[in-house]
Amino acid sequence: MERTSVWAALRDHRYLTGPAPWRAAGYVTAGAPLGALLLAFLATALVTGITLTVVAVGLPLLLLLALTGLPVAALERRRLRPVDPAPAPSPHLAPGTPGLTAWLRLRLREQATWRELAYTVLMAFVLWPLDLAVAACTLALPALLAIAPAHLALAGGPDSGGVRPAKVWLVDSYPAACGTAALGLVLLLVLLHPLGAYAAARAALARLLLAPRETEARARLAEVTRSRARLVTAFEAERRRIERDLHDGAQQRLVALSMSLGLARLDAEPGGPLAQRLAVAHGEADAVLAELRELIRGIHPQVLADYGLPAAVEDAADRSPVPVDTDAELPRLPEPVESAGYFAVREALANVARHSGATRAAVHARHTGDRLRITVRDNGTGGADPAGGTGLTGLADRLAVLDGTLTVTSPPGGPTVLTLEIPCLPRPSSGPAPTV
């Protein structure tokens, strides 16, 4: 049977006959001793850290004190299950690199860490006394009234002068004690509703600070983003492998075949049928070799791997049917970024040649701060529509994989300006950045 939350059970007329009241009671009563222990720990650690600061030992202790919310939050998320069984995933992200330093740096930058610390302080100074007061009023008081007969019997009976259950009134006879016990049981049944409401509100506050409802979706989105980045990296590595295999394998064989056919033509009788056939075969081999080289360049140009994006942009401009002015001053960037930037420029120049009617184009590329920005401008007729099947939609999708953006401004009559931006940091450079 699926467990429902205490808040949902409160709206059911069978609330008192189900386990929800006792789950709420357990949640509230457990919070009081946990909070008291937490208060003692925080006070001791804070005083110790401030005292030892004069000898520099206290600073790491105070830093660790800031992370106290992590284990407390993990425990509180587990304590939510009896009251609110909905999943309460951790809001923390996994570090991108292994090691304690990376973990600590990430945790100190996350808002979730400071929310958990705020909840820890709130629990130590406010919530546990409130838990204790609610438990005393809704559970301890009715229980003390309910055991009035036993209390009177242990005190020696009516002859002892009577007892005061919960210090409220004098009970000096067994009929009065039984009436008090009945009142305690009725009061317990009545107070179980406000106890459940308090437990539900307390759990809602804990969930708000420790496991927001959007946390799971955000965690899934972060994982999708990381997996997408891994796929891009793997895709680029596979492109380079294919390019290398074609360059070192098929291309070298075709070069050898072309040379062999050239040598065979030298041995054949000039003007004869064999010489003509060898000439045709030699020409076909050269054509296939040229196509293969163009294919290799399209898969992953060697100039991009060797000299970076500025040289690759210049190479793409040289191959464009429309004259292109280039202005690119860039450091070496991560390989997926350089690849995306190169293919974006190449697609943009192909669109200029096919659709714009332009007589000239320009490419401007800079890396400023933490962002690569490339602008491709032409003097064509304008009117470019990303939804018109010109390849701009696919280009935008390719950039989105790297959290990049594509902006197209193309009023009728021109000019068309295509701007792409990709957030990235430069690669460590061993020499000056190439300039084109």
The domain total for the chain is: 3
CA–CA gap between residue 39 and residue 128 (Å, rounded):
9
Quick one: 169 and 281 in the same domain? no
Q: Which of 279, 299, 319 is the last residue of a domain?
A: 299
Average of pLDDT values for 7-36? 90
pLDDT for residue 2 is more than 70: no
Q: Which of 156, 187, 213 is the last residue of a domain?
A: 213
Report residue 404: phi and psi, to 5°.
-90, 170
Per-residue pLDDT of 155-195, as tens digits, reads 777 777 777 787 777 877 888 888 888 888 998 899 999 99
The answer to whether position 391 is within a domain reads yes
Quick one: 367 and 326 in the same domain? yes
The pTM assigned to this predicted structure is 0.53
**Closest Cα partner for 374 from 317, 303, 301, 307?**
317
* Segments forming the whole domain that contains residue 92: 6-213
Average of pLDDT values for 392-415? 79
Quick one: 71 and 184 in the same domain? yes
pLDDT of residue 126: 92
Quick one: 209 and 238 in the same domain? no
* pLDDT band of 96, cuts 50, 70, 90: low
Per-residue pLDDT of 137-152, as tens digits, reads 999 888 888 888 888 7
The answer to whether position 121 is within a domain reads yes
Quick one: 96 and 183 in the same domain? yes
Quick one: 148 and 255 in the same domain? no
CATH code of the domain in which 364 resides = 3.30.565.10
The answer to whether position 36 is within a domain reads yes
The answer to whether position 155 is within a domain reads yes
Q: Which of 259, 274, 299 is the last residue of a domain?
A: 299
Quick one: 173 and 142 in the same domain? yes
Average confidence score pLDDT of the chain: 81
With a pLDDT cut of 70, the percent of the chain lying above it is 84
* HSE (side-chain half, CA atoms, 13 Å) at 46: 9
Per-residue pLDDT of 198-223, as tens digits, reads 999 999 999 988 887 655 556 556 66
Quick one: 161 and 234 in the same domain? no
Quick one: 322 and 181 in the same domain? no
With a pLDDT cut of 90, the percent of the chain lying above it is 21
Average of pLDDT values for 85-94? 81
Quick one: 412 and 346 in the same domain? yes
Quick one: 181 and 283 in the same domain? no
Quick one: 200 and 111 in the same domain? yes
The answer to whether position 408 is within a domain reads yes
pLDDT of residue 262: 80
* Phi-psi category of residue 298: left, alpha or beta, with phi > 0 → left and psi -120 to 50 → alpha: alpha
The answer to whether position 17 is within a domain reads yes
Per-residue pLDDT of 363-373, as tens digits, reads 999 998 888 99
pLDDT of residue 221: 61
pLDDT for residue 264 is more than 70: yes
